Amino acid sequence: MSNTLEASIDINASPQDVWAIVADLQRMGEWSPQCKKMKVIGGTVREGAKTFNINRSGFLIWPTSAKVVRFEPNKSIAFRIAENGTIWSYELEPTATGTKVTERREAPHGTSKVSQFLVKTVFGGNDKFEVDLVKGMNATLKRVKNEAEAASVLA
Q: What are 55-109's pLDDT values in tens digits?
A: 998 888 999 999 999 999 999 999 999 998 999 999 999 999 999 999 999 987 7
**Residue 154 clears pLDDT 80, i.e. is over it:** no
Q: Give the pLDDT mean for 140-152.
A: 93
CB under 8 Å to 134, separation ≥6 — which residues? 5, 6, 7
Q: What is the CATH number of the domain that holds 143?
A: 3.30.530.20
Burial code (b: 16+ CB inside 10 Å, e: under 16) for 91-108 equals: bbeeeeebbbbbbbbbbe
CB under 8 Å to 83, separation ≥6 — which residues? 64, 65, 112, 114, 115
Tell me the DSSP string of 75-95: TEEEEEETTT--EEEEEEEEE
Q: Which domain holds residue 95?
A: 4-154
Give CA–CA dist 117/145, Å, rounded. Answer: 34
Number of domains in the chain: 1
Q: Which of 63, 72, 104 shows the shortest CA–CA distance to 87?
A: 104
At 141, the pLDDT band (50, 70, 90 cuts) reads very high
What pLDDT is attached to residue 98?
96
65: exposed, middle or buried (C-beta count within 10 Å: 0-12, 13-18, 19+)?
Answer: middle
What pLDDT is attached to residue 1?
44
What pLDDT is attached to residue 10?
98
